[in-house]
Amino acid sequence: MTDRREYSPPALRGAGRTFHIAGRDIVIGRSAGFWSDLHHRALTVSWPVFFLGAAAVFLVFNTFFAALYSLGTDPIANIPKDSPHSLLYFSIETLATVGYGDMHPQTDWGHIVATIEIFTGMSMMAVMTGLVFTRFSRPQARFLFANNPVVAPFDGMPTLMVRIANARGNIIADATAKLWLVRDEKSLEGLSIRRFHQLELRRQENPLFALSWTLYHTIGPESPLVGCDADTLAAGEAALILTVDGLDESTTQHLMARNTWTHGDIRWNHRYVDVLSRGADGRMRLDYARFHEVVEVAPSAVAVTAE
């Protein structure tokens, strides 16, 4: 099965930003600023960066409000004249809605600034609570992808194989996999394009994905890989993209994961080492230590040509 959607970068003017997709650089003439997608950034950065950023914002806000308090004349009671940093401490107490009672607003200016700061603090707390909850509750798939796709004979036909596993060990219901070949091609007009071909799998659905799952694409007459070898895929800067999704029965959440391999990752005339075995207790065991191992096999004697 071939997907005829194509991508050809238009002529660009001015500075652009570089994105890496399937091992290639695609330049888009649009500069994504820091504030353009702040919510997405807050959800995708690491936890240390997230909390460091939150601490920096907290410090900036308190410094700003401390400076506002200092514009008034004795706006806060019990603030020593030689201790201007006490306004920062009061701002922290107010923004956090703590209020120990030893310092309090005593002028209209102090009350106005404190009112604005309390509203800001409540809003910040609501935003932080939502972000932390979203980060914790976001479903995370723990799918393990083999380091190398392999091509070897299977049922008498050359076959592309990709192995994946559910590292969490629970059941992923109604799992679905889609495998794509991405490569440079020429149109009939001689235009260079990046084309996506969906590779037909012998079994792209798994009702109970719990341990290991090997995907098979037969390189038959209708396969986009027919007649290809390592050199032809390298010439087209080919890559493989695999997407896997399913329903986590433990949390009833939808999981999705993606992995990309370049043409150099494909091992021709190799197959995976068997990692599944049955123990003395009758239970299946998956050896993760050998999950990525491959062994060389004899080349296929079957010649496949395009129809």
For the chain (length 307 residues), average pLDDT per consecutive 10? 43 38 50 69 89 93 93 88 84 85 90 93 92 86 93 93 90 95 91 93 92 93 92 94 93 91 95 87 84 87 46
Residue given tokens 């996999």 in the structure block:
177
> What per-residue confidence (pLDDT) applies to 15?
38
Three-class secondary structure of residue 132 per DSSP: helix
Count of alpha carbons within 13 angstroms of residue 40, beta-carbon side? 6
> Pairing relation of β-strands 150-154 and 267-268?
parallel
- Which tens digits make up the pLDDT trace of 1-31? 444 444 444 333 333 333 444 445 554 555 5
Domains, the chain: 36-137 (1.10.287.70), 143-296 (2.60.40.1400)
> What per-residue confidence (pLDDT) applies to 295?
94
Record the tokens describing residue 223, joined without a space: 């396969």
- Which tens digits make up the pLDDT trace of 64-94? 999 999 998 889 998 887 777 899 999 998 8
Q: Are 80 and 74 in contact (CB under 8 A)?
A: no
Give every CB contact of residue 304 below 8 A, 6+ residues apart in sequence. Answer: 157, 158, 219, 220, 221, 223, 226, 227
> What per-residue confidence (pLDDT) applies to 2?
44
pTM for this model (two decimals): 0.71
| Per-residue H/E/C for 236-280 | CCCEEEEEEEEEECCCCEEEEEEEEEEHHHCEECEEECCCEEECC
Count of alpha carbons within 13 angstroms of residue 174, beta-carbon side? 8
**Tally of CB atoms within 10 A around 87:** 21
Read out DSSP for 16-29? Answer: -EEEEETTEEEEES
CA atoms of 261 and 100, how far apart (whole Å): 58
